[in-house]
Structure 1
Amino acid sequence: MGCFDLIRDADIVMRSTGSPITPAEASRRAMSGLVAFLADRRGSYARLIGPDAPAQLRAAVTSAFVEHSVEAISRMSVRPDGADPVLVARFLGGGVLSVISTWLAEPEDSWPADRLVEALLLCLPSWLTDPRQPDHSS
């Protein structure tokens, strides 16, 4: 099971019926898990998705992120009508991984992981994180 499998599965479980976790907290935990995983493997992932990484590698990692995000997004009951899960996953995958790739290329102490998580959460669509919208994904 890879990084994106773990993140997807955790997000689905946290958003499941009966979970006391809010959508905002589910997003925070999933994003924190992703950033922590990559931070622990900073050197390897900087070579895979960093600014100097071959385009084919970045594309493969982005595709994996998108593929694993589609299932979680598809199951979200708060997803607005007309919000295509594949399109949303591509948008998030491209944006999140672009920001993370820049972060990985910078010195470790220039941007703390928790600050990165907070900045990324602010970029997410509000329907993913709005605590007023309980999500009971099935």
Structure 2
Amino acid sequence: MERDKLIHVPLLKKKWNIFAYILFALPIPVLIVLFFIDVKLSSDGVADLVYSFWAMGASIMILTEENKEDERLKHFRLQAFQTGFYWLIWGLAVLIVVHLVGNVGGLPISGPKISAPLVMFLLSFYVLAALKYQVWKSNKVDEQSSK
């Protein structure tokens, strides 16, 4: 199974992090250019554009190798994806409840429009946060045990 190219996705080299950071900042100049060439975007279109860039940046960071890549980090990645999907389910449930309360209850509240870029943004950031937290916590435990 390790040699199956369809299933085995190699990790990206560390220099891909630079591209990921560029993707986080890129929506601002893109929106400025779109403004100057007179492209009209709705607020949902602007949000989807920003969510898309941020989701791509976070996904690249998730797939970029760490300094010391080993079985433990492979396990952390798996756990981070499981945790990310768990948080995504709860996050979407909250958004759905907010939309229902705003529409049915007549209250003046509403959340962001639920779209594919929003879902990818939430998932990629939940996974990235879970992965970075596990790596940070593991390094902290390693430092304490070495003292």
Q: Which has the higher contact order (CA 8 A, sep 6+)?
A: 1
Question: Max radius of gyration: which structure?
Answer: 2
TM-score (norm: length of structure 1): 0.33
